[in-house]
Amino acid sequence: MKKRGILIVTLVSAISILLTGCHGRKGMEAFSMPEQFDESKTYNITFWAKNDTNKTQTEIYKKAISDFNAIYPNIHVDLRLYTDYGKIYNDVITNISTGTTPNVCITYPDHIATYMTGDKTVVELDEMMRDPRYGLGGSEVKFDAPTEEEIIPEFLAECKIGDGHYAVPYMRSTEACYVNKTLVEKLGYTLPDILTWDFVWEVSEKAMETDADGNYAVNGQKVMIPFIYKSTDNMMIQSLYQLNAPYSDDNGNIGIFNDSTRDILFTVAEHAKTGAFSTFKISSYPGNFLNAGQCIFAVDSTAGATWMGTDAPLSDIHESKKAHFETAVLPVPQYDTANISMISQGPSICIFNKDDNEEVLASWLFVQYMLSDDVQMAYSETEGYVPVTIKARNNPAYLDYLSREGEDNSLHYDVKIKAAKLLLDNSKNTFVTPVFNGSTSLRDASGQMIEEVTKATRRRIEVDDAFIDKMYDNMKSLYRLDVTRSAAGNATSTEQSELPTESKSLLIILAVVWIFIAGYVLYTYSRNKSC
Amino acid sequence: MKKGIIAVLAATMVATLALTGCGGAGDDKKSEGVMTYEEYAQAALDSEVVVETYVQDKQGWWENEGVGMATFYTQDKEGAYFLYNMPCSKEDYDKLTQGTKIKVTGYKSEWSGEVEIVDAVFEIENGNYVAAAKDVTSLLGQDSIVDEQNKYVSFKGLTIEDSGDGQAFLYNWDGSGEKGSDLYFNASKDGKTYTFTVESYLRGQDTDVYQAVEALKIGDTVDMEGFLYWYEGINPHITKITVK
């Protein structure tokens, strides 16, 4: 049973702690490669990992830790499990301020940009990656690790922030449109290989027709939401990217508040008004509606493929509510079918700096182990993930797994393997958005605008230019997007160009002390002179 | 004289309790422009609703982009209202203790069958009411149990069943979590099994109910109290469990 994504956190407060907490702490030395790795010494490594509320994934983490410990008996890894990236993000920020970060952490590059506002908090990996002994596939590494060249270059590049790599990719996914092909054809359409936005809107509107009893004609039920999008931030980001419209740049300049965004929002409003479109936040998981025959186009992560389709091994709806239909797994809708694009997403792994360089090196060895074939293949097979190394992708065992699509409804569940193949076939068509301190807020705002427009329309509030103008202003203010930012976590917003209050106070105190000292010197000098 | 004063004080206390609730009726007359529960129940989804209700319990307070919020389980004498992610300051959150009367203006919404009020604003009013748990054991497995949605309810004489892998409970729905995660456990009545949850944002790992569920054994007979939350069917959020 999935849980609605709310997060008991105090993000803003935590970020404030992070930004101000560093002032009082002694900065850590940057990591430098140790001469030796002392294997007679014991290292205790903490690993904060994210799973998709999936027991198999947690078992794979545990097995990886156990197998790694068998190779390096002196390195002990303590696992802490999360099911939400946001919770990890919040906990890391809180622990940066107290100097108690984990050693290794599953994360998103967007989040790392914020972690990097702490002084030398996150280890730049380039030196370790290329070390001939302990680097990727190095001579002293005791297991079959991938070389740098064997990591998919597009995915490794996603982990580069500024001039260096601050993470390595762990798993990758994208979004897919899971389609009830049976209902599309019942409506008189032929499903294309590549969906266009126009096609999806047209079929969705057609599906809103009702019969004399008030049931939707296409499914004979009282409920039909033809098009449901899980992550509306991705919906907006991919739409803008496909239109070659501004979102943000590498320097953190915000471009999202433009006319293309406005047009997208008007289109969303048009179809929300008829009930043809809704979102996860407003209605629920797209998969629940899809599997009940109440949705035709369900856009969700390929990492959620095991929840999608008639024979999905995981489901939150009662068996009696399930509809029987053919599921097609297609790329997200496109504006230009000759030039398709889709977002790249999925977990990466970063390492936090510690005073002991050898402890950091021990962390790095464990990170490399997470890139080894056994871990990569096992974890990717839990969902519609793909391995991030060429080595694992070419492994005969993985190729065998892919070839057995549909053999059963568990490990070889066809929708899951189709979802993985979708990304394998489109690695070159993926993109990511620029990472900077504040990119997480921009992502949140991009989705929130679709949510706001959809909600307003359902509530019979007119969505016109005035509405959009006001919403733009609200988004800029709420998500602090009306400031200039710089890349790689070194925020230089107009607000932050001014000295912090603590600094101002310190300067004032220093000035007062100097005035007293000067006064005292003058007083002593004049007394001595008068004597 | 002394006895007389005590008697007067006692009478005053009884009268006060009677007027302010504590399981009693409370003054539940609706203010001008406020819906009755029946009117709320009849209101269309996505329409604006105005209700007066009483806080029964609350999930943890959180803040996102500088906006504090929390989820509340509320109820009046007629029915219950689930207030999802209602913006409130930490100061107000602390004031919203069990029984506190509030006027809520928001939008009626439905998420996976859970009817709730979202995007709400509230004001604290005078009044107090704490609902007694309604025994809905006999309604388990019946469609009419939906009429009790979100109310504070009780289940009596259920038997703890295997939740998977021979465990009496799981951390997260499939056992993928750890201490601190939501607890899921199965309990049966009359041959049918139902799933119950200890929602960690409502009752965390340090609470009695969380620890009591961690100590359950398959075959235990239990009485439970909690809120009749809904997610694709009943999904009660349990706040109290007693092993008989």
Residue B222 lies in a domain: yes
* pLDDT average, residue stretch B155-162: 98
The label of the residue with tokens 């609703």 reads: B49
Same domain, B65 and B149: no
User: Do B234 and B213 share a structural domain?
Assistant: yes
Same domain, B119 and B139: no
Average pLDDT of chain B to the nearest whole number: 91
Do both A321 and A469 map to the same domain? yes
Phi, psi for residue A286 in degrees, rounded to 5? -55, -35
B232 to chain A: which residues are within 8 Å by CB? 288, 316-318
Residue B117 and residue B36 in one domain? yes
- Confidence at residue A527, expressed as pLDDT on a 0 to 100 scale: 65
Q: Are residues A164 and A214 in the same domain?
A: no
Nearest to A283 among B64, B111, B231 (CB): B111
Cβ–Cβ contact A2 with B under 8 A? yes
- Name the DSSP letter for residue A286: H
Q: B235 and A1: CB-CB below 8 Å?
A: yes
Per residue in B87-106, pLDDT (tens digit) is 999 999 999 999 999 999 99
Rg (CA), chain A: 27
Domain annotation covers residue B9: no
Residue A54 has a pLDDT of 86
Least confident of A98-107, A145-154, A291-300, A490-499: A490-499
Question: How many separate domains does chain A show?
Answer: 3
Q: Answer yes or no: is A4 within a domain.
A: no
Nearest in space to A480 (alpha carbons), one of A488, A491, A490, A469: A491
Q: What is the DSSP letter of A173?
A: B
> Which among B64, B71, B85 has the least Cβ separation from residue A11?
B64
Please write the tens of the pLDDT for every residue from A343-392. 999 999 999 999 999 999 999 999 999 999 999 999 999 999 999 999 99
Residues A462 and A340 in one domain: yes
Q: Indicate whether B169 belongs to any domain.
A: yes
With CB atoms and an 8 Å threshold, state whether A458 touches B46: yes
B95 and B150 in a single domain? The answer is no
Tens of pLDDT, residue by residue over A187-237, are: 999 999 999 999 999 999 999 999 999 999 999 999 999 999 999 999 999
Q: Is A444 on the interface with B (CB under 8 A)?
A: yes
**Measured in whole angstroms, how far is the alpha carbon of residue B10 from the centre of its chain?**
31
Check if A320 contacts B (Cβ < 8 Å).
no
pLDDT at A321 over 90: yes
Strand order in the sheet with A348-351: A75-82, A43-50, A104-107, A348-351, A168-169
The verdict on residue A317 lying in a domain is yes
The mean pLDDT value for A251-256 works out to 93
Question: Quick one: average pLDDT of A501-505?
Answer: 49
Q: Quick check: A36 pLDDT over 60?
A: yes
CATH number at residue B218: 2.40.50.140
Torsion-angle region of residue B127: left (phi > 0), alpha (psi -120 to 50) or beta?
A: left
In a shared domain, residues A358 and A456: no
The pLDDT value recorded for residue B130 is: 98
Q: What ipTM does the predicted assembly reach?
A: 0.87
Tell me which residue range forms the domain holding A529: 505-531
Residues B150, B119: one domain? Answer: no
Residue A256 lies in a domain: yes
Are A147 and A255 found together in one domain?
no
A312 within 8 A of A180, measured Cβ to Cβ:
no
The range of the structural domain enclosing residue B55 comes to 27-128
Whether B121 is covered by a domain: the verdict is yes
The verdict on residue A424 lying in a domain is no
B175: chain A residues, CB-CB within 8 Å:
55
Question: Helix, strand, or coil here: A264?
Answer: helix
Residue B6 is assigned to a structural domain of this protein:
no
Residue B27 has pLDDT above 50, yes or no: yes
A258 and A139 within one domain: no
Whether residue B124 is found in the same domain as residue B147: no
Is the per-residue pLDDT at A487 higher than 60? no
**Per-residue model confidence as pLDDT tens digits over A118-131:** 778 999 999 999 99
From B101, B128, B155, the end of a domain falls on B128
Helices (H), A72-120: 85-98, 109-115
User: Does residue A274 belong to the interface with chain B, where contact is any CB pair within 8 Å?
Assistant: no
Predicted confidence at residue B152, as pLDDT, reads 98
Q: Are residues B124 and B138 in the same domain?
A: no
- Residue A369: which CATH number? 3.40.190.10
Per CB distance under 8 Å, which residues of B are interface residues toward A? 46-48, 59-67, 71, 85, 107, 109, 111-112, 119, 172-178, 181-182, 184, 195, 201, 231-233, 235
Q: Say yes or no for a CB contact (<8 Å) between B173 and A4.
A: no
pLDDT tens for residues A21-31?
Answer: 433 345 678 89
A54 CB neighbours in chain B (<8 A) are 174, 176
Cα angle: A360, vertex A363, A368; to 5 degrees? 130
CB–CB contact B65 A459 (8 Å): no
Looking at residue A27, its pLDDT comes to 65
- pLDDT recorded at residue A513: 66
Residue A423 lies inside a defined structural domain of this protein: no
Regarding whether B140 and B231 lie in a shared domain, the answer is yes
User: For A503-516, what is the mean pLDDT?
Assistant: 62
Do A338 and A237 lie in one domain? The reply is: yes
Say if CB A166 and CB A159 are below 8 A apart.
yes
Let me know if residue A247 belongs to a domain.
yes
User: DSSP label at A246?
Assistant: -
Rounded average pLDDT over B185-191: 97
Residues B239, B194, single domain; the answer is yes
Final residue belonging to a domain, choices B64, B98, B128:
B128
Question: Taking CA atoms, what residue in B is nearest to A318?
Answer: B232
